[in-house]
Structure 1
Amino acid sequence: MDPASVYVQAGGEATFTALVAAFYRGIAEDPLLRPMYPEEDLGPAEERMRLFLIQYFGGPTTYSQRRGHPRLRMRHFPFAVDQAAREAWLTHMRAALDEVALPPMLDGIMWDYFERAATAMINTPG
């Protein structure tokens, strides 16, 4: 399945809103990852991620219209992302995916992307 069609197959904006909300509930309580979010209110970060994922998986291109090219590595470069941060991030994303309970094929497509993206963000040894 083409990742571009995942948005519709997964249930559209409502599913991505639920996924990202579940993810950020975990981030809010995480002692390793929470300090990487300089804003006291996680709402803006949640919105950016939701819009990015919607666009990446085939939905509206609002993210690029508002913020330009995603440039994920550049945007994450100011933060020390090591293997421990990758694992913590993936733990919260796995819990969020489990909460939204997508069909196995869609879950697999999204999980594959999240694992690859999390690895690509590593910029610090350790």
Structure 2
Amino acid sequence: MNEIPQPPLRQQTLYELIGGEKTFRRLVHRFYQGVADDPELRAMYPEEDLGPAEERLTLFLMQYWGGPRTYSDERGHPRLRMRHAPFAVNRAAHDAWLRHMRAAVDGLGLEPDHERQLWDYLVYAAASMVNTPG
């Protein structure tokens, strides 16, 4: 008797594993709550309202972790270093960004492996944005 071949099981993305859009929106909203009151970082956001920046980061992170491709559909290739080039991102800004992101990640209550995967990327991303000594 011939067995019907089964398609390979699709592995879930981190986006799916940690709760999808709702989780990423919580993460980024909590992060921007910290940014709003941080003079080091707030100066880097020329928009009076942080809402557009919050939406861009949310869409980027959702796409990066396997969610919808809305970010690229709306804005093209992420080109993160180029998009941040107009801003002087030094070590102090790096540290402030990670401090607020750490609080946001901790607020999610993720499983340790998922938290570590997300955090490792955020640390890498923050380091890659530094473009000014000091």
**Structure with a larger share of its residues in helix:** 1
TM over 0.5, shorter chain = yes
Deviation string for 1:52-106 (max 9, x for gaps)? Answer: 0000000000000000000000000000001111000000000000111111111
Q: Percent identity?
A: 63
- Map of 2:8 onto structure 1: none
The 1-side partners of 2:75 and 2:39 are apart by 28
The count of residues paired between Structure 1 and Structure 2 equals 123
1:120 aligned to 2:134? no
Following superposition, the deviation at residue 122 of structure 1 comes to 0.4
The one-letter code matched in structure 2 to 1:93 is M
- Map of 2:82 onto structure 1: 74
The 2-side partners of 1:34 and 1:100 are apart by 23
- Map of 1:64 onto structure 2: 72
Post-superposition, which runs of at least 4 consecutive aligned residues in structure 1 deviate over 3 A?
Answer: none
The one-letter code matched in structure 1 to 2:129 is M
The one-letter code matched in structure 2 to 1:72 is L
Deviation string for 1:3-60 (max 9, x for gaps)? Answer: x811000100000000000000000000100010000000000000000000000000
What are the within-5 Å matches in structure 2 for residues 1-126 of structure 1? 5-126=13-134
The one-letter code matched in structure 1 to 2:105 is L
Give the aligned CA root-mean-square deviation in angstroms. Answer: 0.8
Unaligned 5+ runs, structure 1? none
